[in-house]
Amino acid sequence: MTCPKYTRRKFLGLSAGAIAGLPSLVQQAQAQLSRPVTNLFSAQSPASSATANVAIVPCINYGSGIYPAMKQMFDMLGGIAKLVANKTVTIKINMTTADFTNRFGGRPAGETFMTHPDTALALVQLLTEAGARRIRFVESSPLREGLDSILSRGDWDIRAFKASGKKVEFENTRNLGGNKNYSHFKVPGSGYIFNSFELNQAYEDTDVMVSLCKLKNHITAGVTLSMKNMFGITPNTLYGRNAGSEDAIGHRAPLHSLPEYDHLELPGIKQEQRKYGDSGYSVPNIIADVVAARPIHLSIIDGITSVSGGEIPNTDKNGRPVVQFTAPGIIIGGFNPVSTDAVATACMGYDDPRAERGSWPFQKCDNHILLAEQAGLGTADLDKIDVRGMTIDEAMFPY
């Protein structure tokens, strides 16, 4: 793979002393700002109304360094208190799979393909300090057990979360859960493939939606960042291969190959779209539809360590790994998911986040970032995004 305009980050290979230098970096970045944040994303506003400000901060290790790095990132964006104070905040994590036994290179899942517990706990602390009233972690897992039980096998210390000073909840949104009905979400403008979705009520009974994800490639979508992470909010009981039963736990294969599952009722689908079998078409377009229906208010992308070449440590038919361990040493955040994902894509070494299908990293799929921009969800034009903290060139780590 050849990605044009590579620039290795100047701090690549630095020791943990980089964290100690974070305040000076922040002061320099803040001194260079040409304008303040004047239109902080409203929890009730569509994503397109968010100011296109994105912050990048260095963070080379998990552990105690995450909290100050994330705090500086939020400060660069104007703070999060106006967004979360006295609000219910729902955090969609990036779990990818419930099988945590495949530890790539002997590393924990949080260091490679799933949301790291240290990142999540630092976020809980910052949300609590900003006045959040209620904090919930959600994911639609293909297992019948509770999300807290599942995450405990992925090295999450659930007791630490529940003892963090605020009531922290965990919900597996694969089905109705304890609710009597699903919540109906319309896609503004009718959508690309779906004009609406039926989702667990957790996605309606919230004031603020956060997407907490990893900086990764995706075999079907090119990249998986804050918007692709939301693909996983669709309940398995309605959009999985065994859809039709509240006990269903099957993978969301029907959303990847619509014609193959033509016998299933998929709530909200445009029937004329069922003929398309190319997952490189269906997945990106559905991503844009989901994010339009259930907007993201805050995107946080963990690029401390991750994987490139795919979204999970899989192997090819010969048993060889198809992904590589990466250590970009950054965290990226913003109030607009399109702009945040565009900046993150550029940090991965892809010079055009708005590239058409056929160009890296979208060589085999439609570009969901471009589709979201065309749907009016935000700008992916790097010239129109105020990047704060590190520059893209300083943060770049080629994938």
Three-state SS at 386: strand
What CA–CA distance (Å, rounded) separates 309 from 322?
6
For the entire predicted model, the pTM comes to 0.87
pLDDT for residue 51 = 56
**Spans in the chain with pLDDT lower than 50:** 1-50
pLDDT for residue 199 = 99
pLDDT for residue 58 = 99
pLDDT for residue 102 = 66
Q: What is the pLDDT of residues 65-115, one digit of tens each?
A: 999 999 999 999 999 999 999 999 999 999 988 777 766 778 898 999 999
Q: What one-character-per-residue DSSP string does 229-294 give? A: HGGGGS-HHHHSTTTTSTT----SGGGT-TGGGTTS--TTB-GGGGG---HHHHHHHHHHHHHHHS
pLDDT for residue 390 = 99
- The ranges assigned to domains in the chain are 18-211+222-293+337-345+352-395
Query: Residue 266 contacts by C-beta under 8 Å, 6 or more apart in sequence?
Result: 194, 238, 239, 243, 254, 255, 258
pLDDT for residue 167 = 84
What CA–CA distance (Å, rounded) separates 143 from 153?
13
pLDDT for residue 10 = 37
- Tokens encoding 345: 């894509």
